[in-house]
Amino acid sequence: MIRKLTDQDHQQVLAFLSEEPSINLFIIGDIEAFGYSSESQELWAEFNEENTIIAVLLRFHQSFIAYAKGDFDTGGFVSIMKNYSQPILLSGKSDIIAKFEAYDELRLGKKQVTYFAECRTNKFLSPDDVVYKKASIEDVDQILELRKSIEEFHVREDARDVLVQSIEANTSRTYFTEVNGVMTACVSTAAENSMSAMIVGVCTRKEYRRKGLASSIMKKVVQDVLNEGKTLCLFYDNPEAGRIYKRLGFKDIGMWTMHR
């Protein structure tokens, strides 16, 4: 049985999602931030005969995220999603999203597949003497200026508002290095919640690359987040970047598919 979730389901939903807190980072964060009765967000779950949750579907604005631990009623979720404007923006573990891709009546957005990695240990972190700072609202423009200088990055028009809002809400933090007041490298988190956080925006100004600055900042971010009892995760599609992350203690835990 699939039904819409309410506040009364909260504890059962979190218990289900918390077994994989990194994979469910976005769902957990959106529930904590917006709950079950927001116009911009809806959640559904499939329950088995023992009234145990076996799958969850989240709608946040026009984007959907699906999560399950085994077989689930994909067709039932597709019937719900078809009521919303298409193409559908859908993301989740690749093996779960593949089930939705089999439905021709569901028009999905452009597909992107990345590696999904998680860190739960600090045993690979070694101290160094790199001096870094934690960003405040006053540093937002420099963060965005640095990100825009990176060819691989796509900085949205509303990036400033989003970053300011997330810093104020404590769902994002940024650490950075600087020389003579100019930001040289930075690392951010996003979608932080009570259980997990995602590493994003790892970047270094071109003339300061190959000095290990981003790796040093990553160590600080990883240590601080782990000290708060959270797991860390990240997406990557560059094998060279993947090797750097793994030296810091990240392990691949699956593939992540996004239809945008």
Predicted local confidence at residue 33, as pLDDT: 86
pLDDT of 157 above 90: no
Predicted local confidence at residue 155, as pLDDT: 86
pLDDT digits (tens, 9 = 90+) for 168-196: 988 999 999 999 999 999 999 999 999 99
Q: How far apart are CA 115 and CA 252, in angstroms?
A: 7
Predicted local confidence at residue 186, as pLDDT: 97
pLDDT band at 242 (very low <50, low <70, confident <90, very high): very high
Predicted local confidence at residue 140, as pLDDT: 97
41-47: strand order across its sheet: 2-4, 41-47, 53-60, 63-68, 89-93, 251-259, 111-119, 231-236, 196-204, 182-190, 174-179, 133-134
pLDDT digits (tens, 9 = 90+) for 22-55: 999 999 999 998 899 988 899 999 999 999 999 9
Asked whether 9 and 45 are in contact (CB, 8 A), the reply is: yes
Per-chain mean pLDDT for the chain:
94
